[in-house]
Amino acid sequence: MSINTKMSPREIHEEIRRRSVSLFEPRPELNHATNAVCIVGRRSLSENLFLDRRASSSSYDYRADPEGKFLAISMGPIAPVMGGIDLEYFFSRTDNHKMGAGTKLPHNVMGLIGVANGADGDLRTGLPSQMIEVHDPVRLLVIIEHYPDVVLKVIKAAAANYSFYENYWVHTVVVHPETGQLHLFKDGNFSTVYKPLLQGLETISDIPKLMEGAKKAEFTNIVEATQENLPVYFIDKEQK
């Protein structure tokens, strides 16, 4: 169950400390769970958006890097590291028994190379169920603010990383800095203009109130737990 945020800071701190060492805590290590988006661009690109733990960002200004040299450095770890982590969660969440590690309660460390269930000799792959309960299995979406031709040159420069984009293990969208159009990477280029399904977002002004009124999972099973994840909202500038 979620911690009651109406408690005093001291009480909340004590509850977090208690849960961190409890063997019965169902979700002590969510880590990168729910991460679905990586934004590479200026802060204005995602300012005033409530993304509910889904996004990570890399501060980048295309105006200071017209040829994409710094962009190549910023994007170097995105596909192999962030994309790899996302796929680990993706497959573990899709089928936790076969591609994940199941519950970690019976896990035994085997030779410091992996874990197995109890006395079983087979190593378990992927992540335990306690890490992926709230995760929605989607492939990482990388959003980059720059000109499409520059981004295409950058992602094609590293062959090992390009396979992530080429085979759609991560999805990639370029935000044109002048027109604001969204160019989706498809069939080896950014010629496809993406049209959002929604034309607007619901606006909120009180995030604490939103969190307090959010659905609380009654059970810790995977289907129920993901219902705690909140939609994307636009935050009222006057009230943020």
| pLDDT tens readout for residues 116-170 | 988 777 889 899 988 888 888 999 999 999 999 999 999 999 999 999 999 999 9
**CA 64 to chain CA mean position, Å:** 27
Give domain status of residue 204, yes or no. yes
- The count of structural domains within the chain is 1
Dihedral sign computed on CA atoms, order 212, 218, 223, 225:
positive
Residue 54 has a CB neighbour count (10 Å cut-off) of 17
Give domain status of residue 120, yes or no. yes
Containing structural domain, residue 45 = 9-13+35-157+190-235
Q: Rounded to an integer, what distance in angstroms lies between the CA atom of residue 95 and that of residue 101?
A: 9
Give domain status of residue 168, yes or no. no
Give domain status of residue 174, yes or no. no
Give domain status of residue 29, yes or no. no
pTM summary value? 0.82
Give domain status of residue 95, yes or no. yes
Give domain status of residue 107, yes or no. yes
Q: Is 60 exceeded by the pLDDT of residue 28?
A: no
Give domain status of residue 164, yes or no. no
107 CB-near residues (< 8 Å, 6+ apart) = 101, 115, 116, 117, 124, 128
